[in-house]
Amino acid sequence: MSLLALKERSAAHPAGRTPKVEFRNITKRFDSTEALSVVSFAGMAGSVHAITGENGAGKSTLMKLLAGVYPPDSGEILFDGRAIRFDSPAAARAAGVSTVFQELTLLPNLTIAENLFLGREPRRFGFADRSAMRRQAHAVLQRVGVDLHPDVTCGDLAIAEQHLVEIAKGAAAQADIVIYDEPTAALDAPGVDKLARLIEDQRRAGKLVFYISHRLDEIFRLCDMTTVLKDGKHVRTCPTADLTHDALVSLMVGRELARLYPERGAKPSTAEAALRVTDFVARPGGAAVSFAVARGEIVGLAGIEGHGQREIIRALAGLAPHMAGGALKFDRDGSAKPLGGSIVATARAGVGFVPEDRKTEGLYQPLSIQENIGLGMLRGASMMARAKIDRNRVRALMQQMNVRARDDRQSVSSLSGGNQQKVMIGRWLASGVDVLLIEEPTRGVDVGAKAEIYRLLRAFVDAGGAALITSSELTEHIGLCDRILIIREGAIVAELAGEEATEETVMSYALIGRPPERASR
């Protein structure tokens, strides 16, 4: 075993340098999801190492293992050739790992300086030395290129500024290993440039920087090495210079679609629009989009996270105001109702919305399945009103949707993610809406429940409904949708029939706004 390991080592690192960090056969599961499956690769000091792959590939989980957020189920992490094991994020920090995660971790009631040095304030005669702290904070902010006073309370900062302070906090930590998890999602272009300079400094200082991103231009600009993960498995680690855009896209995608998806319906001969969106601008300064969704159709808004799909569907749902243009929902008799006012108006127009985050936005967790489904029947009435609910109808729906629960009185908080999602969709089916707007129809759902949700949606449109979805899973767009609208920087850059789309073409449009150079598969 040790001989084998030695052999692998010398093959992987011909120069004979010991890697700063080595992952060996790392496996991590969450319930039924294998987030990481025997992942092995190494990162060298003095390099910027991209970790890339589609959403759900396991990138964040891997970095959280390195940051001591949780331990691997099996496998080892080696630092400078020695196996280490962290019991806590504090232990990882003490060992020189600094992390800038997607979630903001600043305490809003503390100042920038206090946040930067939280838990390791400079001390003098046993007391926190506030002036030293302020001085050092100022220096770090300068280094990151942030023009903010250290005494400003973090709660008063704009979100983008908070992200910059978050980055400064990572830089203040004086670590050998710095992890950035999709750091540019909330940054503007100058913010990205500042970050790029900081990362370059960190590389020159001999640190190992792990840079998680699925933005190809950033990977090619910043990273020496690239590791691709897919569905929790290691696909490749190689110098970024050995890759082209197209090659990287192929590594990130390129998987056979399982027979997880129902047959697409026959194309309706008269495309009767159920939803028509015209010159619709969903975010300030954003592009205008126009499209329609016909009865019998499932249409997907695809694209890289942060490119505006979410804003479009949310503005249509009435959750956020739109800036310009309009959207109409057509009833079967041809009468039109405007969309995009409020969530209640949306429901009154016969349009259901299923949000991405069921736990906080979608379901009333303490209430029973019966009440959650029944709420849809009270459409237009106060959503929280608990009125008489047709239990027989609810039970019939639960059966039709194959909701696995003891009975309809069980609280939804005790259901699995897949069953919660079915309850969400069931609520709208019960209400008799004929247009559904769905964010991430199957996020966090196991593969069996996925197939059932796809079947439900297909049955819904086959019966004359229309559905618009967003999804971060390309395969879901390709497998489920009749048409895919690809959004890049807020605009529709391409429309593909689900049947002819490949992951490669969708990804290429989403990333670079044009089809792949090679002929697609």
276 beta partners: 292, 328
Residue 310 binds ligand ADP (CB under 6 A) = no
Identify the three-state secondary structure at position 242. Answer: helix
Residue 28 or 264 with smaller CB distance to ligand ADP: 28
User: Residue with structure tokens 């950033």?
Assistant: 218
Residue 172 or 212 with smaller CB distance to Mg ion: 212
Yes or no: say if 418 and 450 are a contact pair by the CB < 8 Å rule. Answer: yes
Residue 31: CB minimum distance to ligand ADP, A: 6
For 494, the enclosing helix (H) or strand (E) is strand 491-497
Tell me which residue of 387, 385, 389 sits closest to 370, measured CA to CA: 389
Kindly tell me the number of DSSP H helices and DSSP E strands found in the chain. 17, 22
Rg (CA), the chain: 25
For the chain, what percentages of helix, strand and coil (3-state, to nearest 5) are there? 35, 25, 40
Residue 233: CB minimum distance to Mg ion, A: 16
Residue 30 binds ligand ADP (CB under 6 A) = yes
Spell out, one character per residue from 437 to 476, where the chain touches ligand ADP: x when CB under 6 A holds, - when not.
Answer: -------x--------------------------------
Residue 375 or 510 with smaller CB distance to ligand ADP: 510
What DSSP character marks residue 25?
Answer: E
**Could you say which of Mg ion, ligand ADP, none residue 409 binds, taking C-beta under 5 to 8 angstroms by partner kind?**
none
Q: Which of 18, 25, 33, 365 binds ligand ADP (CB under 6 A)?
A: 33
What DSSP character marks residue 434?
Answer: S
Residue 178: CB minimum distance to ligand ADP, A: 17
CB neighbour list of residue 183: distance below 8 Å, 6 or more residues apart? 100, 102, 163, 167, 195, 211, 213
Q: Which residue is nearest to Mg ion (CB)?
A: 60
Binding segment for ligand ADP among 27-35, 167-175, 360-368, 500-508 (CB under 6 A)?
Answer: 27-35
Residue 278: CB minimum distance to ligand ADP, A: 34
Query: Which residues in the 260-289 window bind ligand ADP by CB under 6 A?
Result: none
Summarize as ranges the residues that interact with Mg ion (CB under 5 A): 60
Residue 214 or 276 with smaller CB distance to Mg ion: 214
256: which 2 tokens?
Answer: 């056979």
Residue 518: CB minimum distance to ligand ADP, A: 26
What DSSP character marks residue 237?
Answer: E
Residue 137: CB minimum distance to ligand ADP, A: 30
Residue 61 binds ligand ADP (CB under 6 A) = yes
Residue 60 or 240 with smaller CB distance to Mg ion: 60
Q: Which of 56, 191, 352, 479 binds ligand ADP (CB under 6 A)?
A: 56
Cα–Cα distance for residue pair 127/374, rounded to 1 Å: 59
What is each CA distance from 446 to 234, 402, 443, 454, 481, in whole angstroms?
21, 14, 9, 12, 19
Positions that interact with ligand ADP (CB under 6 A): 30, 33, 35, 53, 55-61, 444
